[in-house]
Amino acid sequence: MKLVIKTFLFVFIATALFSCKHAGIGKATREDKNGWIYVHLSGSPTDIGFQHGYLLANEIDTMIKLMQYYLPSSSGKNWDFYRAASARFIWKKTDKEYQDEMKGIAEGLQAKGFKYDSLDLTALNAITELGGYYVPELMNKTKTGSGDNKAPGKCSAFMATGSFTKDDKIVMAHNDWTDYIIGERWNIIADIKPDKGNPILMDTGPGFIHSGDDFVINKNGILITETTITGFHGFDTTRTPEFVRARKAAQYSNSIDDAVRIMTTDNNGGYANDWLIGDTKTSEVAKLELGLKDYKVYRSKDTVFIGSNFPSNPKLIKEETNFDVNNKTISSNARKLRMEQLVMVENRGKLNDSLGKIIEGDTYDAIDKKSALNRCVIDGHLEEDPIASKEYSLPPFFPMGAVQGKVTTSDMANKMQIWAHMGHPGGADFLARPFLKKHPEFVKTQGKYLRDMKAYPWTLFTASK
């Protein structure tokens, strides 16, 4: 009987202390809507993390288990490798604020009965830069593998302003390309009100403290999105991780200059992107093309910047990529051509949120001059394109492409609003069972977690006040 009483008192006291430590949990909310999960998080870094981990516990558990299952076949490294790399150099270069947030996520998971720690969350947040940049560099240095570049061009975006838009203000649009097995779960809308810095609204994946794909607005009128630089190589383990700089830029930028400064300071080269940045206060937009050694900033109040994974800076192209600027048939250049037709010619002076939705779902191949579902259209479908395997170093008919889309404008961003579409923005469904029956070669490596990816309607999300 004494043992029972002691156990009860221990649990009661521990629960009370836990509740005091995470006093902000009552302000957090979750809503499932049209394929998305909207979460409102607020307070200290630890509180934000705990709320995140607690509200999305099942989704985070699934995402980590998926990575443990999928990474050995997709990157040649297991989860222990990513945890070890995180412990060795990622964690120590992570700001304490974000260490505390990831610790909080782990505590939220533990409160729901899941046994994950801060290194699991660090590995998850750094997964793109570790798998896509660190692993190839490590292979080259140690001569333990081919070291082929693992940064293929994915995602299609634009940011326009001035005479290119209907109201002379900013329009930002983006769709995320990734493996369907992961992208179908990249369905979180995070509304975060931190104790310090600006409130932010972004799309993200469960367990991630940054957007990751990236589409972000903050309360001070800063808009940020990006597309990956195709064929980039380079990574510096002694510098600050990309996911830390990206979250910091989202939270603490009050101007384009702030975002550029944060992203370029102590840059590790991970997840090298063309960052598109806008400021609703001035209607100015910028493109930060950021490698490891080289970067360049382009900015204007009357332009449209396109992102389809092509680099522009000749010095960066020559020194840090294997990108072929003259090959018009590759995905990056084909989508650039189509995007130019749509945003710079056909719809100049008309661009708004409605057109942004249509453009991100476009399935016209500008090279072959016909409608198609392949690697060369804005709403990409690699599972329908056998030739894509050569360009992306993947098996033929690989289940990857555009998995969701987002659009906002200056007026919407000033109200902390974004449009979001889960699934192919063009409206096509991906159905896992028929695909695996037709392509049984993927059953072993993806069958356990590959799910249907339905195309839901465009949905308006507004940050809580």
pLDDT grade for 144, boundaries at 50, 70 and 90: low
Question: Residue 154 falls within a domain, yes or no?
Answer: no
Residue 59 sits in a domain whose CATH number is 1.10.439
Domain containing residue 25: 2-142
For the cut 50, the answer to whether the pLDDT of residue 246 exceeds it is yes
Question: Residue 417 falls within a domain, yes or no?
Answer: no
pLDDT digits (tens, 9 = 90+) for 355-394: 999 999 999 999 999 999 999 999 999 999 988 877 888 8
Q: What is the pLDDT of residue 142?
A: 76
User: Of the spans 2-16, 91-105, 150-164, which averages the highest pLDDT?
Assistant: 91-105
Q: What is the pLDDT of residue 26?
A: 80
Residue given tokens 């043992």 in the structure block: 3
For the cut 90, the answer to whether the pLDDT of residue 151 exceeds it is no
What number of CA atoms fall less than 13 Å from residue 154's CA on the CB side?
25
Phi-psi region of 300 (alpha: psi -120 to 50; beta: other; left: phi over 0): beta
pLDDT digits (tens, 9 = 90+) for 67-104: 999 999 888 899 999 999 999 999 999 999 999 999 99
Mean pLDDT of 27-47: 97
d(CA 388, CA 180): 15
Question: Residue 225 falls within a domain, yes or no?
Answer: no
Question: Residue 288 falls within a domain, yes or no?
Answer: no
Percent of the chain with pLDDT over 70: 92
Q: What is the pLDDT of residue 390?
A: 78
Q: What is the pLDDT of residue 219?
A: 98
For the cut 60, the answer to whether the pLDDT of residue 149 exceeds it is no
* Other CB atoms within 10 Å distance of the CB of residue 457: 10
Question: Residue 266 falls within a domain, yes or no?
Answer: no
d(CA 58, CA 53): 9
Q: What is the pLDDT of residue 148?
A: 57
Mind spelling out the 3-state secondary structure of the chain?
CHHHHHHHHHHHHHHHHHHHHCHHHHHCEEEEECCEEEEEEEECHHHHHHHHHHHCHHHHHHHHHHHHHHHHHHCCCCHHHHHHHHHHHHHHHCCHHHHHHHHHHHHHHHHCCCCCCHHHHHHHHCHHHHHHHHHHHHHHHHCCCCCCCCCCCCCEEEEECHHHECCCCCEEEEEEEEEHHHHCCCCEEEEEEECCCCCEEEEECCCCCCCCCCEEEECCCEEEEEEECCCECCCCCCCECHHHHHHHHHHHCCCHHHHHHHHHCCECCCCCEEEEEEECCCCEEEEEEECCCCEEEEEECCCEEEECCCCCCHHHHHHHECCCCCCCCCHHHHHHHHHHHHHHHHCCCCECHHHHHHHHCCCEECCCCEECCCCCCCCCEHHHCCCHHHHHCCCCCCCEEEEEEEEEEHHHHHCCEEEEEECCCCCCCECHHHHHHHCHHHHHHHCCCCCCECCCCCEEEECCC
Model's pTM, two decimal places? 0.93
Backbone angles phi, psi at 150, to 5 degrees: -110, 30
Taking a C-beta distance cutoff of 8 angstroms, is the pair 196, 260 a contact? no
Question: Residue 129 falls within a domain, yes or no?
Answer: yes
pLDDT grade for 24, boundaries at 50, 70 and 90: low
pLDDT digits (tens, 9 = 90+) for 392-434: 888 999 999 999 999 999 999 999 999 999 999 999 999 999 9
Q: What is the pLDDT of residue 154?
A: 82
For the cut 90, the answer to whether the pLDDT of residue 334 exceeds it is yes
Taking a C-beta distance cutoff of 8 angstroms, is the pair 349, 164 a contact? yes
Backbone angles phi, psi at 416, to 5 degrees: 55, 55
Which residues, in sequence order, are CB contacts of 49 under 8 Å at separation 6+? 100, 101, 102, 103, 104, 105, 106, 107, 108, 209
Q: What is the pLDDT of residue 12?
A: 41
pLDDT grade for 22, boundaries at 50, 70 and 90: low
How many distinct structural domains can be found in the chain?
Answer: 1
Question: Residue 44 falls within a domain, yes or no?
Answer: yes
Phi-psi region of 378 (alpha: psi -120 to 50; beta: other; left: phi over 0): alpha
Q: What is the pLDDT of residue 271?
A: 94
Mean pLDDT estimate for the chain: 93
Question: Residue 365 falls within a domain, yes or no?
Answer: no
* Amino acid making up residue 425: P
Tell me whether the omega of the peptide bond preceding residue 214 falls within 30 degrees of 0, making it cis: yes
* Other CB atoms within 10 Å distance of the CB of residue 16: 10
Mean pLDDT of 308-337: 95
For the cut 50, the answer to whether the pLDDT of residue 241 exceeds it is yes
For the cut 50, the answer to whether the pLDDT of residue 17 exceeds it is no
For the cut 50, the answer to whether the pLDDT of residue 20 exceeds it is no
